[in-house]
Amino acid sequence: MSLENKSASYIFHLLKKGGISARELLKDCRERFNERDHKLNAFVATSWKRAEKKAKKIDEKRKAGEELPPLSGIPIAIKDNMARRRDTMTCCSNFLADFYPGYSATVVEKLEKAGAVIIGRTNMDEMAMGSTTEKSAYFPTRNPHDLHRVPGGSSGGSAAAVGGGIVPLALGSETGGSIRQPASFCGVYGLRPTYGRVSRFGLVAYASSLDQIGPFAADLDDLWLIFCHLAGKDERDQTTFAGKDLKRMGENFDPPGLRVALPREYLEKVEDEEISKRLEHVCVSLEKAGVKIEEVSLIDPIRALAVYSVIATAEASSNLARFDGIRFGPEPEGVDNWEDFIKKSRAEGFGEEVKNRIALGALVLSSEYRKDYFDRALMVREEIRKELEELWQRFDLILSPATPTPAFELGSGMEISLQKYMSDILAIPASLAGMPAISLPAGLNEDGLPLGLQLMGPMWSEPLLIDFAEFIKQITGFGAEVKFRAEGGSGS
């Protein structure tokens, strides 16, 4: 029995009633993995034996009549920057090639407690620094809709694993758009929670004031299900908050009268006409349903990108100082002093993108430039946050495109290097403000590539975001585009 394109909720219901076993679920997942991942390269490591032991225990509990938690038997993938005890964690960097953490991240513990069967670790841009998953130390991941195109990044492996139908759910992490952008490129849902809603304990830090863990899913109810299991206060992460109650309106959701802002500065950054047309179609459909849509002036995303580039690289420079070749990483030979030891270790362990961002971060934190760059960026970040807070006095949500373009071609070269950085540009304001946002599918273009839209809301508004995304799906028919095109798609 193939359960491809079936929701996690449906699969669990089937498992609970005895219609399928957890081991059969795992076998079904493994068959799709064997068929597809040698072309997708979504995974950098798998743990089938460990998964089989977990599936066996779940089946034994069900036969014994024990109550099963709601993610029982569901195959799930995690990004390669989240710790799992007795498992590798490399962040797709040569620096951590032989690293085995002695503990698990809080999100991993919560997933396993909820019965999820973790099948492996997904590919990513090294140290989460990139927008295409081409910066992995291993290999690039490919877009399931067109194997000649990128899946986005840095959580491209997780997005491709869900978008390619290997798993129904996966975890990613996001600093400036690394969940929402690949979700858009791969045709699935991706949620960036409110900063502090989900624990970062056990996540390898890129930029601590921006990083957040969130889920990918092909079904909104599944996205909500896994999010509810991830959210909550964690004593091991002092930036977490209990937040507001996690309660959706569901069938009682009443969208007429909701006020939705459409930022013209975001619209001006869109380079693809079909994305603009899909957004227009959604707006017309919403207005017919009684939702109030108004175009507004908001933060220029270019300004937000500049602020993000300074803050993220500065924090990365500080966070990655621990990688010195002693506690982690390759131990270089042929050096006889401490300074050269560290330099050579980092030169051998890190790729160019990581070294460039560390260097930029060190520069903006230097005494000569800190006041003009880092301190000023913090001030502008606060201005952006206040501007959004003021907007919530008049509007309930912000609707925009998720990315300026669909997924671009792998190995495009330096001529579109700026495009790669700009592909996250519409996601960055929410990241800087710590506010939740969701990427939602908007159908396929003429080349069969997914298009995506974005909803942003005030702090703790994840229930509203998901309910409204479900409403958009109902009135437009736009849902997740789970598909594996083995021949490569339009670029083949």
Structure tokens at 461: 């508004």
Would you say 411 and 148 are in contact if contact means Cβ atoms under 8 Å apart? no
Which of 47, 104, 178, 184 is catalytic? The answer is: 178
pLDDT at 329: 77
**CB count, 10 Å around CB of 372?**
11
pLDDT at 492: 36
Which of 54, 79, 110, 269 is catalytic? The answer is: 79
pLDDT at 331: 79
- 309 in active site: no
Reported as a single tens digit per residue, the pLDDT across 461-486 is: 999 999 999 999 999 999 999 999 87
Contacts 24+ apart (CB under 8 A), 384-388: 384/299, 384/303, 384/304, 384/307, 384/429, 384/432, 384/433, 385/432, 385/433, 385/434, 387/298, 387/299, 388/298, 388/299, 388/429, 388/433, 388/435, 388/458
Q: Does domain 22-323+358-492 have CATH number 3.90.1300.10?
A: yes
How far is 162 from 165, CA to CA, in rounded Å?
A: 5
Would you say 429 and 488 are in contact if contact means Cβ atoms under 8 Å apart? no
How far is 154 from 151, CA to CA, in rounded Å?
A: 9
185 burial via Cβ count (<10 Å: 0-12, 13-18, 19+): buried
Angstrom distances, CA of residue 440 to CA of 57, 84, 110, 163: 35, 29, 25, 13
The structural domains of the chain, with segments of one domain joined by +, span 22-323+358-492
pLDDT at 414: 41
Would you say 342 and 327 are in contact if contact means Cβ atoms under 8 Å apart? no
Pick the closest to residue 407 from 176, 76, 140 (CA basis).
140
Reported as a single tens digit per residue, the pLDDT across 356-396 is: 999 999 999 999 999 999 999 999 999 999 999 999 999 99
For the entire predicted model, the pTM comes to: 0.96
Would you say 141 and 156 are in contact if contact means Cβ atoms under 8 Å apart? yes
How far is 311 from 440, CA to CA, in rounded Å?
A: 27
Buried/exposed code over 63-99 (b: 16+ C-beta within 10 A; e: otherwise): eeeeebebbbbbbbbbbbbbbbeebbbbbbbbbbeee
pLDDT at 413: 55
In angstroms and rounded to an integer, the radius of gyration of the C-alpha atoms of the chain is 22
Tokens 């083995």, residue? 486
* Residue 370 Rama label (left phi>0; alpha psi -120 to 50; beta): alpha
- 16 in active site: no
**Helix 376-391 to helix 301-319 angle, to the nearest 10 degrees?**
130
pLDDT at 355: 96
Beta-bridge partners for 146? 143
Which of 72, 131, 154, 309 is catalytic? The answer is: 154
Per-residue pLDDT of the chain (492 residues; tens, 9 = 90+): 677 888 999 999 999 999 999 999 999 999 999 999 999 999 999 999 999 999 999 999 999 999 999 999 999 999 999 999 999 999 999 999 989 999 999 999 999 999 999 999 999 999 999 999 999 999 999 999 999 999 999 999 999 999 999 999 999 999 999 999 999 999 999 999 999 999 999 999 999 999 999 999 999 999 999 999 999 999 999 999 987 779 999 889 999 999 999 999 999 999 999 999 999 999 999 999 999 999 999 999 999 999 999 999 999 999 999 998 887 777 788 888 888 888 889 989 999 999 999 999 999 999 999 999 999 999 999 999 999 999 999 999 999 999 999 999 998 754 445 555 678 899 999 999 999 999 999 999 999 999 999 999 999 999 999 999 999 999 999 999 999 987 765 543
* Phi, then psi, of 448 in degrees rounded to 5: 80, 20
- 492 in active site: no
Measured CA angle at 228 (ends 227, 231), to 5 deg: 80
pLDDT at 342: 86
Question: Which residue type does 252 have?
Answer: N
pLDDT at 266: 95
